[in-house]
């Protein structure tokens, strides 16, 4: 039996998934670098999110580790339940802990997709985001190779991460955008992409919904998350934690409603 999602559902990349998703960035070591200190706990958090709490939207990136979390997801959840969406991102290199650099070379993007397919053990990435648009590579070249990978059946749906309204309009003019992932929370509460995505019927996936825990410590998790989800039915939120009990607490707070 599939557990009831804690905050309702939304359709992303052709799947009806939980509006409260699980972001996997913290399932690495410090600096989003290397394996976690406790691999068994990281695997437990992933399984608990899906099998206990009904979270069916798992968000990751090849840059987390790098590569670490895609391996963890495969170990914890493969074969993936039909109702679960695994979303990953490509287009970022990691020179060192806490360092991130966009790299939109088309050959690199293709290699990233091929490697993620192997690590996740799938024939198609159901939702693949361009992690960042590289300002040093013509955007049409970056988008063209991802569209080619769609045509080859290696990407199901294409998303955009940390983008402007102009970026969204440019890509959407050529082919549908499956999701936009930007920062949104009660501190960073103004993003014109929210309204544009509403108008274009694009799911908006908010990362840092609790501002890396700052809002949860100040107000508890319920009120900030309920504010976020109240911004429209096209909004989803990606929570992140490395601790099973913390995951339980956040889900319980959302289910109980804002204080």
Q: CB burial class (10 A; 0-12, 13-18, 19+) of residue 199?
A: exposed
64 is catalytic: yes
Whose tokens are 């287009």? That residue is 91
Q: Which of 224, 227, 221, 228 is nearest to 247 (CA)?
A: 221
Taking the C-alpha atoms of residue 156 and residue 178, their distance in angstroms, rounded to an integer, is 9
Residue 251: closest CA among 56, 7, 3, 2: 7
Are 180 and 205 in contact by the 8 Å Cβ rule? The answer is: yes
Q: Which residues pair with 125 in a beta bridge?
A: 155
Q: Which of 64, 129, 204, 207 is catalytic?
A: 64
CA dihedral sign, ordered 111, 109, 128, 77: positive
Catalytic residues: 64
């Amino acid at each position: 039996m599939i557990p009831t999602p804690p905050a309702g559902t939304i359709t992303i990349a052709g799947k009806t998934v939980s509006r409260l998703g699980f972001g996997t960035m913290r399932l690495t070591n410090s600096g989003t670098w290397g394996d976690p200190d406790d691999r068994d706990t990281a695997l437990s958090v992933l399984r608990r999110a899906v099998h206990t709490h009904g979270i069916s939207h798992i968000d990751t990136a090849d840059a987390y580790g790098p590569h670490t979390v895609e391996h963890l997801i495969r170990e914890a959840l493969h074969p993936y339940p039909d109702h679960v969406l695994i979303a990953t991102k490509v287009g970022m290199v990691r020179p060192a802990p806490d360092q991130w650099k966009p790299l939109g070379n088309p050959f690199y993007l293709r290699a990233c997709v091929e490697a993620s397919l192997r690590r996740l053990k799938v024939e198609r990435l159901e939702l693949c985001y361009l992690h960042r648009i590289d300002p040093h590579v013509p955007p049409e070249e970056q988008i063209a190779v991802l569209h080619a990978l769609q045509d080859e059946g290696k990407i199901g749906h294409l998303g955009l991460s940390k983008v402007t309204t102009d970026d969204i309009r440019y890509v959407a003019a050529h082919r549908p955008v499956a999701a936009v992932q930007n920062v949104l929370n009660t501190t960073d509460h103004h993003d014109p992409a929210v309204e544009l995505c509403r108008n274009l019927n694009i799911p908006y996936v908010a990362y840092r919904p609790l501002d890396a825990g700052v809002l949860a410590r100040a107000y508890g998790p319920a009120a900030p998350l309920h504010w976020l989800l109240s911004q429209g039915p096209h909004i989803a939120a990606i929570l992140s934690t490395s601790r099973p009990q913390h995951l339980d607490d956040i889900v319980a707070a959302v289910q109980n409603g804002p204080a």
